[in-house]
Chain A
Amino acid sequence: MTDAVLQTVGIHRPNLVKRAFSGSFLPVLVIVAAIILIWYVGAVSLNAKFQRGLDERANITPTTIEFIDSTLNQERPVLPSPHQVAENIWDTVFNKKITSKRSLVYHAGVTLSSTLLGFLMGTALGILLATIIVHVISMEKSLMPWVITSQTIPILAIAPMVILVLDAVGVRGLLPKALISTYLSFFPITVGMVKGLRSPDKMNLDLMRTYSANKWQTFWKLRWPSSLPYLFTSMKVAIAISLVGAIVGELPTGAVAGLGARLLSGSYYGQTVLIWSALLMAAFCAAMLVALVGVADKMVRKRMGEKAEQRP
């Protein structure tokens, strides 16, 4: 057996290319490179028309290299090139004080705070609804349709109304935006938790019955721990759409801070570079939030003694 182990090690260790392919590093790199390449090609072709007009008016006949170079460095391009966006992000993240309105970190922070508040409220509401649905049989038929209907209304339609109504009763600031996030994020939590809280099999439920455990004990000692894998999966979806909710919530109010505000002002003034760096920042935040939930998931699974090989 040791021979076999040595042999496999012997085959794999020197073969760096093979190792790079078997890991996730190389595939990720290839995909990123491909996206950047497509982006550059898109930038050149989309900005070419405007550049040609500019050149004609200025009576310049540039070489191909010069032409491509200028399409990638316009001040208000249709599609800004990756390095323009990267430069802008670098500048607004690292060269500005984070308390400054010009700092992207400041705006991301504003959006993140309402995202997190909305996500926490949405998770709590989702768990509460799921618990009610699982324990009260009539609720499955009477409550669930409303939960589903709520998600068929476009958020863009309902967001301005929520914010206006709340403004009229004097609720301003973080909470109205957070409520849009809540509105979006409670849904996957409810659906996931209804399934999760029902996941214990009959034998485990019978076991609780033989101990004459009450509903409360059955919930905390059996249903809740069984539902945790479902909860974390739903939370990954919920936190990403919470961010979407927070950004959408910033649009109709003409908010002065937040990534949504940044998108809005970018489109007012035709600052496409600004829009794209805000978009990329939003994507980065979403990825970080999902990763954070993933880390929490892993920690909980480890504490719950899950087998190492069962972890995805």
Chain B
Amino acid sequence: MNSVETTTPADPKGQSKSVIQVDDLSLTFETNDGPVHALANIDLTVSEGDFVSFIGPSGCGKTTLLRVIADLEKPTGGGIAVNGLTPEEARLKRAYGYVFQAAALYPWRTIEKNLALPLEIMGLSKDEQRVRIEKNLELVNLTGFEKKFPWQLSGGMQQRASIARALAVEPDLLLMDEPFGALDEIVRDHLNEQLLKLWRKTNKTVVFVTHSIPEAVFLSTKIVVMSPRPGRVYDVIDCNLPRDRSLDSRETPEFLEIAHRVREGLRAGHSYDD
């Protein structure tokens, strides 16, 4: 029941390619009050097509781990590979799309121009940009809002636009850092359903940071339970619910059993301590 990765990934086709491979990774921040061990001895494999959630209390390093994968932080020890490359190489090849806690849309750009931002940076032609913008706005049900400025959209719509912006890069890997954390529960449920549909439709590999147990169980094929001080992986739980889940499947015994196991993991990892 400990952190070492033994189970094969839940994939009907059997052996699948590993997208993210983390070996004995650690990250220590040097601060004035001495070193802070943000991450310690992390081992993790994310396979192609997986939907992996990192769950844990704040300070357990789940966001930091995601940022290491995205090359926004450098690890101080151990190894990590993204698509067999270093995170920096993967970032330079634009191997992933990153969705932040806030939508981070540029207020001076309309929604379509916000989606165009990464495409302009990639140097795509205007026609190619238009095709991708149209396609991805449709994917998140925002067709018709092209010319609106971000402030004219609700929080949920803004976050959908930011997901569309990440998808417009057409990465195989989507990294999401508590994307729905700032939204109310009703909007969050709705977006969870939409995200699940999106994932089934696009077959992307998703790494998702959350602190909501129902969200993690509802979305994931694999749940990584993390615990704080130092940030480490306490348990990895396979979540083999059928892929076409609806909000109602949260009432099923299978769902509740997995949720229970996650909560037990969090408790044993001292996440509920004062």
* Residues in A lying within 8 Å of B, measured CB to CB: 203-204, 206-213, 217, 221-222, 225, 304-307
A203 to B117, Cβ gap below 8 A? no
Residue total for B at the interface (Cβ-Cβ under 8 A): 26
Question: What chain A residues lie within 8 Å of B151 (beta carbons)?
Answer: 305, 307
Out of B70, B94, B96, B110, name the residue touching A305 (CB < 8 Å). Answer: B110
**A212 and chain B: residue at smallest CB distance:** B92
A197–B267 Cα gap in the complex (Å)? 46
Question: What chain B residues lie within 8 Å of A206 (beta carbons)?
Answer: 72, 98, 100
A307–B91 Cα gap in the complex (Å)? 35
A312–B94 Cα gap in the complex (Å)? 40
B120 to A221, Cβ gap below 8 A? yes
Q: Would you list 12 pairs from A and B whose C-beta atoms are within 8 A, ordered by A residue?
A: A206-B72, A206-B98, A207-B100, A209-B72, A211-B122, A212-B91, A212-B92, A213-B121, A217-B121, A225-B108, A305-B107, A305-B109
A204–B108 Cα gap in the complex (Å)? 13
A199–B262 Cα gap in the complex (Å)? 41
Answer whether A212 and B94 are a contact pair too, CB < 8 Å, given A203-B102, A221-B120, A221-B121.
yes
A305–B100 Cα gap in the complex (Å)? 23
Answer whether A207 and B108 are a contact pair too, CB < 8 Å, given A212-B92, A221-B120, A305-B149.
no
- Does B272 touch A at the CB level, under 8 Å? no
- Does B4 touch A at the CB level, under 8 Å? no
A203–B72 Cα gap in the complex (Å)? 11
A193–B110 Cα gap in the complex (Å)? 25
Q: In the assembled complex, how far is the CB of residue A200 from the closest CB belonging to chain B, in whole angstroms?
A: 9
A304 to B121, Cβ gap below 8 A? no
Q: In the assembled complex, how far is the CB of residue A218 from the closest CB belonging to chain B, in whole angstroms?
A: 9
* Residues in B lying within 8 Å of A, measured CB to CB: 70-72, 91-92, 94, 96-98, 100-102, 104, 106-110, 117-118, 120-122, 149, 151, 169
A213–B120 Cα gap in the complex (Å)? 10
A305 to B104, Cβ gap below 8 A? no
- Most-contacted residue by chain A among B94, B104, B108, B109 (CB, 10 A): B108
Question: What chain B residues lie within 8 Å of A306 (beta carbons)?
Answer: 107-108
Question: What chain B residues lie within 8 Å of A304 (beta carbons)?
Answer: 107-108
A30–B71 Cα gap in the complex (Å)? 62
Q: Which 3 A-B pairs have the closest CB atoms?
A: A304-B108, A305-B149, A210-B98
Question: What chain A residues lie within 8 Å of B120 (beta carbons)?
Answer: 221
- Most-contacted residue by chain B among A208, A209, A211 (CB, 10 A): A211
Answer whether A222 and B106 are a contact pair too, CB < 8 Å, given A206-B100, A210-B98, A211-B118.
yes
Question: What chain B residues lie within 8 Å of A225 (beta carbons)?
Answer: 106, 108
B94 to A211, Cβ gap below 8 A? yes
B122 to A210, Cβ gap below 8 A? no
Q: In the assembled complex, how far is the CB of residue B104 from the closest CB belonging to chain A, in whole angstroms?
A: 5
Answer whether A204 and B169 are a contact pair too, CB < 8 Å, given A210-B96, A211-B122, A221-B121.
no
Q: In the assembled complex, how far is the CB of residue B30 from the closest CB belonging to chain A, in whole angstroms?
A: 19
A210 to B106, Cβ gap below 8 A? no
Q: In the assembled complex, how far is the CB of residue B20 from the closest CB belonging to chain A, in whole angstroms?
A: 15
Question: What chain A residues lie within 8 Å of B96 (beta carbons)?
Answer: 210
A204 to B94, Cβ gap below 8 A? no
Out of B72, B101, B149, B169, name the residue touching A211 (CB < 8 Å). Answer: B169
A225–B151 Cα gap in the complex (Å)? 17
B108 to A210, Cβ gap below 8 A? no
Out of A204, A209, A221, name the residue touching B104 (CB < 8 Å). Answer: A204
Question: What chain A residues lie within 8 Å of B149 (beta carbons)?
Answer: 305
Q: In the assembled complex, how far is the CB of residue B41 from the closest CB belonging to chain A, in whole angstroms?
A: 26
Q: In the assembled complex, how far is the CB of residue B175 from the closest CB belonging to chain A, in whole angstroms?
A: 8
**A201 and chain B: residue at smallest CB distance:** B104
Answer whether A203 and B110 are a contact pair too, CB < 8 Å, given A210-B98, A211-B118, A213-B121.
no
Q: In the assembled complex, how far is the CB of residue B126 from the closest CB belonging to chain A, in whole angstroms?
A: 16
**B102 and chain A: residue at smallest CB distance:** A203
A251–B92 Cα gap in the complex (Å)? 58
